[in-house]
Amino acid sequence: MPKRPVKAEDLLRVQFVGDPQIHPEGNLILFSKKHITEKNAYLTHLFTVDRAGTVKQWTQGEKSAAGGRWSPDGKQILFSSGREGEKGQLYLLSVDGGEAQALTKLEEGSIGEYIWSPDGKHIAFTFRPAMPTETKEAKEDRKAKGLSEPPVELDSIWYRLDGDGYFAGQRHALWIVNTETGKAELIYNADAMGFYSFDWMPNSDELVVCHSANKMAMVGKPDDKLFLVSKKGRAKAIPGLPIGSKGNPKVSPDGKWVAYLGSRAEDDPWGTSNTHLFVVPLEGGEPRCLTEAYDYDMSVSVLTDTKDAGGGGTISWSPDGKSIYVTIGWHGEIQLAKVDVSSGKLEFLTEGRHWLAVSDLSADGKIMAAAYGNATTLPEIAFVDIKPKKAECSVVTSFNSAYHDKITTQEPEEVWLESTDGVKVQAWVIKPVGFKSKAKYPAVLEIHGGPHAQYGWAYFHEFQVLAAEGYVVVYSNPRGSKGYGQDYCAAIKGAWGDKDWDDVQTVTRYMQHHPNIHPGQMGVMGGSYGGYMTNWVVGHTKDFKAAITDRCVSNLVSMSGNSDFAVNKDEYFGGCAWGDLDRIAELWKQSPIAYFESVTTPMLIIHSVGDLRCNIEQSEQVFTALQMQGIESRFVRYPVTTSHGMSRIGPPDLRLHRLGEITSWWKKHLQP
């Protein structure tokens, strides 16, 4: 049966797999699989798969279960679920069968990360209680009494997070729960921002906990520290650590060292510096950077709309403590690498045009679990066999085979373009379905968000939909992107609209001279920082016939005070939204709205009212400027229940509506 072009509605058929966890014996992989239900909702459940590809489902029902973790002996599965209505809990499920049992009896709130102790007797986890005024009981009481919705009372700038909502003064803190009795205890609360990463010591009596030591973490310089915290809550700082960002601590098998991912940079709140691998003795001292000789970043993901956007790095010690396994983002790929602890020598163990998200090692150090994908294949689950000089990936699930068996997927073509200063820019071209070599087609330039992120070798549903609609799709990683070394990434620090704009112009010229692109039928679009750059493009050139700006940034002066992560004074941008005019001018000259008197390009504007990262007022300013000048524009506002990540994790019907708006806009303006 011949394959057909992809449709926007095919999003409903995608099976989203992730969070792979290797069984201690290396024979099974535990993972989450999410799908879209007939009730317009996402439903996640836990599955395992063995070497032969035999899949077993472990959780059922209409309430999701996620975050599955093997017990140290491999006999139980720990997971989180909101099966009890408003109160999410931790559950235990025996691999011998039977129903899952609630381990915790927490009040309403948010469960964060959780880790088994090596002896299996305790689980450490983070928990944040709900705002007292926002519990189910409080809401019902107000309704019964006819009372108004109460005010939110704030004493700290850290009171909200996109995708998480408003939490006012509530913070995550560190808890432990006894796996036999279910008794849960708060053991550590350093306040700060409630961001903790942690790992157990081998003796199961203490944890290594990483968090900011700065009580004004959003204002001061990055100053993450490591602390040894006992099960009774006694804490002591590991001495000798410098200022800088740190996270993801992992204790060595012998309990003498802790590895972490971080940077020594003191003025880099947006992560333009490479994230490196460090080790430090548990008794303290100057950390040793194992990857200092390499211009790689250890915490880069690949952007796509068929997996969660989260990046984060991987640290996994070999059982003998001589090596550490990490993942590295480079040139649009995510690869597995091994670092020798004594020498710092780094070796890539995988290669190819793909991305990987891996777990810890099996007990014998020979096997990892991975989510695996590439530009033409939706993610699946794979075993990763570790060999001395390489690792072999064996994909063992086929949840999306039915999708690929029926749908045509266009493979991207890679190009490298010469930009200013002798810089090479990596770009990709997806040709339309039914492509003819002598024909010219309308084209769409996609610009990624971040800006310190990367496009790459990952399946992008939106791109495939546009190719099916008859467009050449072009996307690239201009300066500011990750995956090309620290200087490349930091080239736009405090200078948006400069070197990144040089590179976007380079890609634009490439499109104009491409033998299969009609230069008079080109559109430009992007989300978040990609929306910023789309706004910048239309204020500086007339090369594009139409544009789409999505969850954009338009005015850095106003955004600096209304984003969940406020822009700090004289830091990343070297300016400030309050104080003297010179500081304000630094932000204003990098604001696309400052150049909107020059805009003539018709624009579709997309934004979520519930976006706490880039406030909707950023798009309101764009729409007002265009309407006041009589420029064709359309503003689509998604409800307060959606967030900045609406195109990836938003309600399915609204994701489809968004794709419909995009394809309709391009059909109106780019089709001959």
**Hey, what are 149's tokens?**
């919705």
DSSP annotation of 223 reads B
**DSSP per position, 163-183:** TTEE-TT---EEEEEETTT--
Give SS3 for 66: strand
Task: Please state at what angle helix 499-512 crosses helix 529-540, rounded to 10 degrees.
Answer: 70
Q: Are 622 and 603 in contact (CB under 8 A)?
A: yes
Place of tokens 């305790």: 122
CB 626 within 8 A of CB 651: no
- Number of residues assigned to the chain: 672
Per the CB < 8 A criterion, the answer to whether 229 and 250 are in contact is no
My answer on whether omega of the bond before 451 falls inside 30° of 0, hence cis, is yes
Tokens of 448: 């990624």
Question: What residues are annotated to the active site?
Answer: 528, 644
Give DSSP secondary structure letters for 618-650: HHHHHHHHHHHTT--EEEEEE-TT--TTHHHHS
Indicate the pairing of strand 173-178 with strand 165-166: unpaired
Name the β-bridge partners of 35. 43
Give the whole-angstrom CA distance, residue 255 versus residue 371: 29
Q: Phi/psi at 326 (nearest 5 deg)?
A: -135, 165
Residue 290 near residue 341 (C-beta atoms within 8 A):
yes
Nearest to 305 by CA among 650, 623, 74, 639: 650
Cβ partners under 8 Å of residue 228, min gap 6: 201, 206, 207, 208, 209, 235, 236, 238, 282
Spatial contact of 500 and 506, defined as CB atoms under 8 Å apart: no
Contact partners, residue 143, CB within 8 Å, separation at least 6? none
Q: Give exposure, 499-514, as e/b (b: 16+ Cβ within 10 Å).
A: bbbbbbbbbbebbeeb
DSSP 149-164: PPPPP-SSS--EETTT
Q: How far apart are CA 200 and CA 210, in angstroms?
A: 12
Taking the C-alpha atoms of residue 513 and residue 530, their distance in angstroms, rounded to an integer, is 23
Residues 123/179, Cβ–Cβ less than 8 Å: yes
- Taking the C-alpha atoms of residue 238 and residue 167, their distance in angstroms, rounded to an integer, is 30
**Nearby residues of 613 by Cβ (< 8 Å), 6 or more positions away:** 162, 528, 551, 563, 564, 565, 643, 644
Query: In this structure, what DSSP letter does residue 297 have?
Result: B
DSSP string for residues in 578-601: SSSHHHHHHHHTT-GGGGGGG--S
Helices (H), 199-300: none
